Amino acid sequence: MEPSKDNCIRQRFENFEKSYKLLEKYAAGDFQTELERAGIIHFFEMTIELSWKVLKGHIEAQGFIVNSPRDTIKQAYQMDLIDDGQIWIEALSKRNLIAPAYDETLAKEFVEEIIQTYLPVFTALYEKLLEE
């Protein structure tokens, strides 16, 4: 692999790692306030965005071309970089739905979903990428 591509992939991983670690750190909280819930949602949005970009880098390093987050997730699933492609597609959809229509009830439900459903898939990706 070319040094510039290797540096790009490493930088993408480091950005993903920072975001993931923040989400993981604060996911253990109690989320009593609107600000705390908004923070977790924001960390989720950053993490999903950076995760598909780090996957895109790995996929392209293997010679494949992906043009969108959805294509990236599908190819990552086919390459066994991620285990459950459907959860990743749902995460992408949630990222697009929650931001424009902030609702307190939905935010509370979404925070639980982030912790129960999406954080484990981010953890699996993080651990897999650490092995490489």
123: number of Cβ within 10 Å:
13
Name the nearest CA neighbour of 43 among 128, 118, 129, 100: 118
CB 99 within 8 A of CB 38: no
Measured between alpha carbons, how far is 32 from 93 in angstroms, rounded to an integer? 25
pLDDT of the residue at 50: 96
Measured between alpha carbons, how far is 66 from 100 in angstroms, rounded to an integer? 26
User: What is the pTM for the complete model shown?
Assistant: 0.89
CATH assignment at residue 94: 1.20.120.330
Please work out, in degrees rounded to the nearest 5, the angle formed at the alpha carbon of residue 93 by the alpha carbons of 90 and 99.
Answer: 130
pLDDT of the residue at 102: 67
Chain segment 38-96, per-residue pLDDT in tens: 899 999 999 999 999 999 999 999 999 999 999 999 999 999 999 999 999 999 988 77
Non-local (6+) Cβ contacts of 9 within 8 A are: 1, 54, 57, 58, 61
Chain segment 5-36, per-residue pLDDT in tens: 678 889 999 999 999 999 999 998 888 888 89
Measured between alpha carbons, how far is 3 from 106 in angstroms, rounded to an integer? 44
Which residue range forms the structural domain that includes residue 41? 3-131
